[in-house]
Structure 1
Amino acid sequence: MSQRALIDRFYAAYAVRDAAAASRLYHPDGWHEEVAMAKSREGRDALAKGLDGFFRMLPDVAWERRGYIRAGDQIAVPYHMTGTFIAADGTPRPIALDGLHLFEIRDGLLASTKDMWDLDLFKAQMG
């Protein structure tokens, strides 16, 4: 599978909130880092669990890709993410963030991903 096709499958799985499909795109020892939160998960099961939680937190989350920059086995994809966070009191809070996914590909699968976005802006929007 080409690198671009792998990235397309990644975002297609995200679009339908299929955490299992997204996690299968990683090597068994692949990992993901949320840079803003200084947290990472390693292994397909942990990746799927983390994504399931994220999709519950923002059930209508969507990403608009804003480019594709390839340098060897690394790819950067700027994006604009939108979604609705439901606060503890039931109030819906619109979320809109610009971010950057960094992908490292090895043997046709994701070796690692990093996601960068503004934590302060996210917290302010959550209320």
Structure 2
Amino acid sequence: MSQKIPGRPVDEALMKEVSAAFNSRDADRIASYFADDAVFYLSRGPEPVGRALRGKETIRKAMADRFKVIPDMRWEHKEYIYAGDCAISIWTVKGKSADGDDLNCQGCDIYRFKDGLIVEKDTYWKMVEQKDRL
């Protein structure tokens, strides 16, 4: 489990820990990487930013609820990019929802960290559609 570590670098070791937490589908483990006042912007929702989850407990609950709907959700990480206290994780997410829908799309997360904890996570997914449109 992560803990606040002043000066902890944003590097491959940290990003692999965060990725492993998400792939564990353990909401408490995931939440341990977020600061108490963190914001997680989901890829979709009623706001221009998607849906903003504010605070560690809100993020923990949303993750627990998501894994009830997509119990085998997993991320195949392709690349991490670093810039100071920020990182980008590029991935493919896969899984099958409880009602049988397949999930298989590419996306990325833009993270901002402070003292080794996530203070902001902004998620983007490709929209998979069968219609021919731009």
TM-score normalised by the shorter chain: which range applies?
0.7 to 0.9
1:18 equivalent in structure 2: 26
2:86 pairs, out of 74, 83, 91, with: 74
Maintained 8 Å contact 2:71/2:98? no
Unmatched tracts of structure 1, length 5 or more: none
1:73 and 1:2 map into 2 onto residues whose CA distance is 8
Alignment of 1:1-127 (within 5 A): 1-3=8-10, 4-37=12-45, 38-87=50-99, 92-118=100-126, 120-121=127-128
How many residue pairs get aligned? The number is 118
Distance apart, 1:2 and its partner CA = 3.7
3-state SS of 2:44 partner:
helix
TM-score by length of 1: 0.84
What code does the residue aligned with 1:9 have? E
TM-score by length of 2: 0.80
Maintained 8 Å contact 1:31/1:112? yes
Maintained 8 Å contact 1:27/1:109? yes
Distance apart, 1:36 and its partner CA = 2.8
2:3 equivalent in structure 1: none
Distance apart, 1:5 and its partner CA = 2.6
Q: Provide, for residues 104-124 of structure 1, a one-character-per-residue CA deviation record: whole Å limited to 9, x for no partner.
A: 011111111011113x428x9
Maintained 8 Å contact 1:32/1:42? yes
Which has a greater percent of helix?
Answer: 1
Unmatched tracts of structure 2, length 5 or more: 1-7
Maintained 8 Å contact 2:15/2:80? no
Maintained 8 Å contact 1:15/1:62? yes
| Regions of 4+ moved over 4 Å | none
Distance apart, 1:68 and its partner CA = 0.7
Q: Which has the higher contact order (CA 8 A, sep 6+)?
A: 2
Distance apart, 1:103 and its partner CA = 0.5
